[in-house]
Chains A and B, each alone.
Chain A
Amino acid sequence: MRPETRAEIESLFERYPQKRGALLPAIYLVQAEKGFVDAESTRELAALFEIAPVEVHEVLSFYNMFYTEPQGRHHVYVCTNLPCSLRGARTLLAGLESHLGVHGGGTTRDGRITIGHEECLGSCGTAPVMRVDGRYHENLDLGAARRIVDELE
């Protein structure tokens, strides 16, 4: 990990009575470097937090928003839980995947976008919704979704 990342992680330790409390924020910081956390970074995190690499990997594998494999440059996730499905989210997702040529979810061949479904994003009143990287796009229809996705570089 970059020295700046390491320094930032170390500055978080004092916020928690036990340094391990800073592990989730630390993983986000490391993940921001390459878009995923590889084995080497996992070992570095383990050393920094004085735990075994397998314990770090347990955490990485448990949470949806942590990735241990390379990702597309952008994440596009459409919620397909019940309220969104009731308003056509699954049809929209299928259409979007078709538009990107990635059926059943996955990453576009040019590495631009990883598309998939997510569970409830807390946007049920403005369904369908998709999360693009850190932003929500709500009250979607397929046209709007396509336009948003086409603008991602």
Chain B
Amino acid sequence: MPTITIDGTEYEVPEGRMVLQAIDDLGLLMNGVDIPHYCWHPKLTIDGSCRLCQVEIEGMPKLQIACNTPVANGMKIHTKNDRVLAARQGVMELLLINHPLDCPICDQAGECKLQDYAFQWGVPESRTREPRRPAKKAVDLGPTIVFDQERCILCRRCVRFCREVPKTGELGVFNRGDESLLEVFPGSELDNPYSMNVADICPVGALTTRDFRFKIRVWFLDDVKSVCNQCSRGCNIVASRSNNNVYRFVPRRNDAVNETWMCDHGRMSYKLNAQGRVAAPRIDGREVSFTDAVKRAAELVRATLDAKAKIVGVASPFASNADLSAFRDLLTKLGAGSARFSVPRGEADDVLIEAEKAPNAAGCRALGMTESSDPVGRADLALVLGHTTTAEVFGDVGNIVLVDSHESALSARAAVVLPARTFLEKTGAFTNSRGLVQKFAAVVEPDFEAWSEADTLAQIAAAAGIS
């Protein structure tokens, strides 16, 4: 492995990498070795045009862009001497002369790389008296993205993204020189299942999501690590919260799972947390207290056990590993055999979206549960988690005790319904399709009483006298 020196410190770096890639591989980029950059992105092809990542390399008379210079053993790199700082300042000044003073109304403020780098490495005062180039403001580029052409610094990340990841290639740069403009083909739109990623990678507020527009300032947000639950990929995410509300999901980098991306559907699924919830426990459709519902559920379990009648357990691939484990243990104690579960399926693609539309079918399988959408058959009591196994399948079942977060046809049919916490309201883990166990942490508290499936089952077991 080659050894390079950066600002006097030696580093062993992987072979065959560009300097910027190598520093990123070591986890040090902007985290110990600060080389600001715009056009480079770890998961896109190299561009080389922003010129911000210029560094001085001993033995090379001109400054070199770190993003396109291959590492060589013995290379000595300087990232913060006067010459490099002057070059950086030159680039920053020239980027700002046409950039509109939109910070007060721009969503990007607070997480804007133009602000950040201008503050740290830019010029203290503007020297330009020239009017700034006018261009399109706040136009819908498609169903998800708002475009402000004046703010664009022409890093072309978005162009490369659309060509290389969803491979839909809707964006281009027209004209040349200072008339260059980011555009779509006239009459067409930016519309692909991954469109909102361009807002993540745009270093400035040129591309922002309509969903997040003007909602909240990012400095009021708190970011909590989680995992998307809309399919078995398990894209790593960050849930941004303020005041016990989730404002958005943003992908979190995981090179083994989702790189730096997530699909629009998953990104928007944060809205599901507040929609259609089972907000109160019910017995035969009547709202009751949690304690009363647990008591009734326990009565049904005790009665079925005493009559030596049939109990069936139906699990959910939306439950966490801990919930599923607790469920299996309880079913064992009840002599109910292994649980069954079903998985909703849909279209998959060759990017991130998988056919299994739930996060933890693998978790169910790992615990020996059986996948089935067949009718449950004759049973006196069904203990059911979630509603991925749909109501019709329970035709021959006596009573259903349902622990679920969201309303469905099944919750209307169940004898007892108990509100469950979603993955955003508890700590846990899902196992993705590749067998990776991924943890998530609680982001918000429900504003009604709800417990995890595991905790609810424990309460029922206790009330039914099952140890």
Q: Mark A106-148, 1 if CB is under 8 A from B, else 0.
A: 0000000000000000000000000000000000000000000
A-side binding surface: helix, strand, loop or mixed? helix
CB pair A54 B171 closer than 8 Å: yes
A62-B174 Cα distance, complex, nearest whole Å: 7
- Is A98 an interface residue, CB under 8 A from the partner? no
CB pair B176 A53 closer than 8 Å: no
Task: Tell me which of B172, B187, B188 contacts A58 (CB under 8 A).
Answer: B172
**A52 → chain B, closest Cβ, in Å?**
4
- Is B169 an interface residue, CB under 8 A from the partner? yes
CB pair A39 B171 closer than 8 Å: no
Q: Mark A70-97, 1 if CB is under 8 A from B, else 0.
A: 0000000000000000000000000000
- Is B119 an interface residue, CB under 8 A from the partner? no
A55-B188 Cα distance, complex, nearest whole Å: 13
Residues on B with beta carbons closer than 8 Å to the beta carbon of A54: 169-172, 183-185, 188
Residues on B with beta carbons closer than 8 Å to the beta carbon of A53: 185, 188
Size category of the B interface is 10 to 19
CB pair B170 A58 closer than 8 Å: no
State which residues 32-63 of A face B: CB under 8 Å. 39, 42, 51-55, 57-58, 61-62
CB pair A61 B169 closer than 8 Å: no
Task: Tell me which of B170, B173, B175, B186 contacts A39 (CB under 8 A).
Answer: B186
State which residues 160-189 of B face A: CB under 8 Å. 169-176, 183-188
CB pair A52 B169 closer than 8 Å: yes
Q: From B171, which residue of chain A is reached at the shortest CB distance?
A: A54
Residues on A with beta carbons closer than 8 Å to the beta carbon of B173: 58
Residues on A with beta carbons closer than 8 Å to the beta carbon of B172: 52, 54-55, 57-58
A71-B185 Cα distance, complex, nearest whole Å: 21
State which residues 128-179 of B face A: CB under 8 Å. 169-176
**B444 → chain A, closest Cβ, in Å?**
41
A133-B31 Cα distance, complex, nearest whole Å: 58
CB pair B176 A62 closer than 8 Å: yes
Q: From B179, which residue of chain A is reached at the shortest CB distance?
A: A61
A55-B171 Cα distance, complex, nearest whole Å: 8
Residues on B with beta carbons closer than 8 Å to the beta carbon of A55: 169, 172
Task: Tell me which of B175, B176, B185 contacts A52 (CB under 8 A).
Answer: B185
A62-B188 Cα distance, complex, nearest whole Å: 20
Task: Tell me which of A51, A52, A62 contacts B170 (CB under 8 A).
Answer: A52
Tell me whether A62 and B169 are in contact in the complex, defined as CB-CB below 8 angstroms, given that A53-B185, A54-B184 are known contacts. no
Residues on A with beta carbons closer than 8 Å to the beta carbon of B188: 53-54
**B334 → chain A, closest Cβ, in Å?**
59
**A47 → chain B, closest Cβ, in Å?**
13
Residues on B with beta carbons closer than 8 Å to the beta carbon of A58: 172-174
**B142 → chain A, closest Cβ, in Å?**
13
Residues on B with beta carbons closer than 8 Å to the beta carbon of A62: 174-176
CB pair B183 A39 closer than 8 Å: no
Residues on A with beta carbons closer than 8 Å to the beta carbon of B185: 42, 52-54, 57
State which residues 312-346 of B face A: CB under 8 Å. none
**B442 → chain A, closest Cβ, in Å?**
44
A42-B172 Cα distance, complex, nearest whole Å: 14
11 more contacts with CB within 8 A, not counting A55-B172, A58-B172, are: A39-B187, A51-B169, A54-B169, A54-B170, A54-B171, A54-B185, A54-B188, A57-B183, A58-B173, A61-B175, A62-B174
| Residues of A bordering B, CB below 8 Å | 39, 42, 51-55, 57-58, 61-62
| CB-based closest 4 A-B pairs | A54-B172, A54-B185, A61-B174, A52-B169
Can you spell out 11 A-B residue pairs with CB atoms less than 8 angstroms apart? A39-B186, A42-B185, A51-B169, A52-B169, A52-B172, A52-B185, A53-B185, A54-B170, A55-B169, A57-B172, A57-B174
